Chain A
C-alpha cells in the first residue's frame, strides 16, 4: 500500500518538476531587470531588446480589478449562503448557479464581458476593466465556494457563545465567524487569483494587445502576461539575413519563456503571501 501511494505521488510529481525544469531552464536566460522594466515599444525583428513591463502592469491592473469585484461579492454571497439563507430556496438557487458558473469556459466569460460593454460603448471597446469583469465572472464562483466551505468549518458553538453574550448576529458574523475563518478565506482568495492570473483567452478578447505601456485600465488596450506569452510564441522564429545587425533568431521564444517564468513566479509569490497571512491569522491553539 505504501509503495502504491508513494509511486502515485512520484508520478504526480513528474509533470510538475518537468514543467518547472523546462520553464526555468528556458526562461532564466532572458529574465533580468532590463526585461522586467522595458516594454516592447519600438522593438522589431530579432533585436536584442524588449521586455514585459507593460504586460506586468496590465496583468496587475486586470487581476487586482477582478479581485476587487470578486472578493466582496464572493464573500458576501458565501456569508448569505451559510449564515442567513441556509437551506432556503434562494440559497439553493444561488448554490446551483455558482456551481454552473464554476464550469463556464473562460472564453465564454470573455465573450460575455465583451458583449456587455459593447451594449453600452458600442462594438470594439477594449480596455483593462472589461478584462477585470471577464475574470471576475470566473473568479466569483471560486471565491464563493472556498469561503462557503471555510465558514461551514466554524463550529456552531462559537456563534452560540457570541449570541449568549448578547452580541447581535451581524457582529457575530463579522467579529467571530469571519475572524475565525479569515485564514482559510485568504487562502481561497489567493488560489482564485492564481487561477485567473494565467487566463489568456478572455483577455485576448477583452483587453487586447499592445506593445507600449498603458497605466489606465479604463481606456485603451493593455498587454497582459499570458497574452504576451501567446503573442511572442506565435510570432515564431525571426529570419536573420543581415549579418551586420545583432539578430537573435529565437528571441520571440526566449521572451515567451521568460514571461512564462515571471508568471509562475508571481503565482508563487501570491501563494507565499497567502500562507503568511493564514499563519498570521490562524486560530491559536498552542501558546
Chain B
C-alpha cells in the first residue's frame, strides 16, 4: 500500500494517539502555541563575504502551507535553512536581519540554535534515515540521541503516533525493528517526516521533499502535507509549480538577476492570486514557463 488515503483518516487502532498526545509536557495539538507565526525582516544571508539572499521581509502564517518557488540558485533553500538556523552549520555562513517566531528573535544573543531546531523541524531533499537504526529507532532518534529517558510504553505510543501522522504506520507496523534504510524512497521520506514530527516541533520546514521521489510517493507526501497543516506551520521549497499550486496557501517567488548577484523575494501572495494575477512581470514569466 504505497498510496495512503488522504483526507480524514481514523487512527489505526484505539490506542494509537495522534501526535502530541500528552506523553511529554509539550503543548497539545489544539493549543495555539503548537503552530506559530514567523516574521522575517530585512534578512540578508551570506556565505562568507558572498551575499546569497538580500532583503527578505515576509510573514509566515501559522497552520498553513507556505511554498517558495523560483529558479535554481535563487536562494530559496538557503532562506529556508535560515528559518531554523541550519544555515550557520556551513562554515563561514552568516545572517543579518531578524527572524521572529511569535515575537522572539531566533537570532537573539541568548537563543541557542539547538533549541530553535527542536521547535522548527526540517525534512530534506533526499531521504536521510539513520542507516544504523531500525524504523522504530529512527522515529525515536530525536529523543534517544538527546539521552532523554522515555518509558517503553511512551516510546511505543510516540512511534505509532508519529508514523500514523506520516501515513506510514500501516505499511511498517509489522517490521518496526527492520532497518530504516531498507524502505523505498517514498517510505524513507515519510519516515523522515515521522522522525521530524516525533520531536513535536511547531514549524516544519521541507526542502524539496518530493524531488527525489516518484509521482505516487509524491502524491502521498502532498496528501500528508495537507493533513499536517492542521497542526503545524509548514514551509515548503519546491521546484514543481504544480506542487506549490496544489498544496500551498501562500506562495513566495524568489529570483536572481544573474549569476553572482543575490537572490531576492520578488513577490509573495495567496497561492491563487500568485498563479492567476501576479503583480510582477517576472513572476508571471516564471509561472507561465517563459524561464526557469
Contacts and interface: CB of A to CB of B under 8 A. Distances in A.
Interface in A162-182: 162-168, 171-172, 175-176, 179-180
Interface stretch (A63-71, A110-118, A153-161, A212-220): A153-161
B286 interface: no
Contacts of B128: 155, 157-158, 160-161
Nearest to A181: B132
Contacts of A165: 117-118, 121, 141-142, 145, 195-196, 199
A172 B145 contact: yes
Q: Most A CB atoms within 10 A — which of B119, B121, B131, B175?
A: B131
Contacts of B131: 158, 180, 283-285
Given A161-B128, A180-B130, A180-B131, A167 B145 contact: yes
A240 to B, nearest CB: 62
A168 B146 CA distance: 8
B199 A166 contact: yes
B182 interface: yes
Contacts of A163: 86, 89, 114, 117
Contacts of B195: 161, 165
Contacts of B129: 161
Contacts of A158: 128, 130-131
Given A180-B131, A180-B132, A160 B146 contact: no
Interface in A255-286: 281, 283-286
A168 B142 CA distance: 11
A54 B218 CA distance: 67
A284 B131 CA distance: 6
Contact of A286 (B84, B144, B182): B182
A157 B147 contact: no
Nearest to A171: B145
A43 B256 CA distance: 86
Q: Most B CB atoms within 10 A — which of A165, A171, A284?
A: A165
Contacts of A286: 179, 182
B99 interface: no
A145 to B, nearest CB: 23
A87 interface: yes
A108 interface: no
B268 interface: no
Contacts of B118: 165-166
9 contacts: A160-B124, A162-B145, A164-B121, A165-B118, A165-B196, A166-B116, A167-B142, A284-B134, A287-B179
Interface of B: 84, 86, 89, 91, 114-119, 121-122, 124, 126, 128-132, 134, 141-142, 144-147, 175, 178-179, 181-182, 192, 195-196, 199
